Amino acid sequence: MIVRPTHHWFRMLFVWNGSVLRSILPQLALMTLVSVLAVATHGRVFGEKIPLDVAPFALCGVALSIFLAFRNNVSFDRYWEARRIWGHVLNATRTLASQALCYLPADAAQDGTSSGRIEFVNGVIAFVYALKHQLRGTDPTDDLSRYLGAEPARRLAPLHFRPIAILNDLRQKLAELERRGAISGTQLWMFDAQLNELATTVGGCERIASTPIPYAYGVMLHRTVYLYCVLLPFGLVDSIGVATPIIAVFMSYTLIALEAIASEIAEPFGTAPHHLALDAMTRNIERSLLELCGKDVPAEAAPGPGYLLT
């Protein structure tokens, strides 16, 4: 995710970091070449005049803009739903950690804290890290070892659904406490409700990650955009002459950039510049829960080079 201060309107015209311009420069170079050829040949290909004018492009442009708007809306809905789910993760983990600190029995700990309570909260933090790593396909061993210990982390290593396994372990601990009479049935029900909320967030993230936008939509939009952009100079050359490359490349930038942005945000859990900052959100949850426990809080995640917050 690109995080940078808002600039003056004039400076925004020349922003490079955070724009998709860098990724679509080859396509714009191709469109520039096609536009120059159209002007140089007066709209002819192999000596034959391409009989195009502005009218068909106006009609096709309306249909293309509607389809681009549909694709962008679908992509942003996926992005925004993913962000809402992680906001729900934050709320549910805070509630669960607060319940653990208030309702779980205090064990013998010389510093006045409850080792069992802290262990439970550590398990909740480990769940958040496990979810982040599952969505990004990265190795969670180091983060799980910090909060669960080396042996539990090794036990979880071969599993495919580590967040669910961690929730199951937390539920087993609560069930054992209830059997011993350390917590009441009502308290167990309250804990279980929050664990169910976290399990629901895992399912929501898995739904987004495992169900991409149907491939046919992407292929159709991609072909339509590029065909429109390639033919556009031949429809403009008789009307605006040498200004054709400027207008054609500007229109190509608009359409190709919209397609590129939609394709990127449609898969929100990666590490591309416009994906969700899962590292920062995970760190934020960790900081919040450690503060509840009275522990030292790590530094807040900050944007790296290029204003990129991962």
Residue 306 has pLDDT above 80, yes or no: no
**Residue 43, number of CB atoms within 10 A of its CB:** 21
Phi, psi of 44 (to 5 degrees): -105, 145
**Mean pLDDT of the region 149-176:** 93
Q: Is 133 exposed, middle or buried (0-12, 13-18, 19+ CB in 10 A)?
A: buried
What residue spans of 140-277 are helical by DSSP H? 141-148, 150-156, 162-179, 185-210, 215-240, 244-265
Residue 173 pLDDT: 92
At 35 the pLDDT is: 92
pLDDT of residue 198: 96
Tokens (6 digits) for 208: 């987004």
Q: What's the rounded Cα separation, in Å, for the pair 141 and 167?
A: 17
Question: Would you tell me how many other CB atoms lie within 10 Å of the CB of residue 234?
Answer: 26
pLDDT band at 8 (very low <50, low <70, confident <90, very high): low
* pLDDT above 70 for 228: yes
pLDDT for 76-119, tens place per residue?
A: 999 999 999 999 999 999 999 999 999 998 763 434 444 588 99
How many other β-carbons are positioned within 10 Å of the β-carbon of residue 150?
11
The identity of residue 72, as a single letter, is: N
Classify the phi-psi angles of 267: left when phi > 0, otherwise alpha if psi is within -120 to 50, otherwise beta: beta
In percent, the amount of the chain with pLDDT more than 70 equals 95
Nearest CA-CA partner of 67 in 275, 256, 274, 217: 217
Counting residues of the chain whose pLDDT is more than 90, the rounded percentage is: 53
Residue with the larger pLDDT of the pair 10 and 120:
120
Mean pLDDT in residue range 218-231: 89
Cα torsion for 220, 250, 55, 231, to the nearest 10°?
Answer: -50
Q: Which residues contact 170 (CB under 8 A, 6 or more apart)?
A: 120, 123, 124, 127, 195
pLDDT at residue 113, rounded to an integer: 43
Query: What is the Cα–Cα distance from 128 to 162, expressed in whole angstroms?
Result: 10
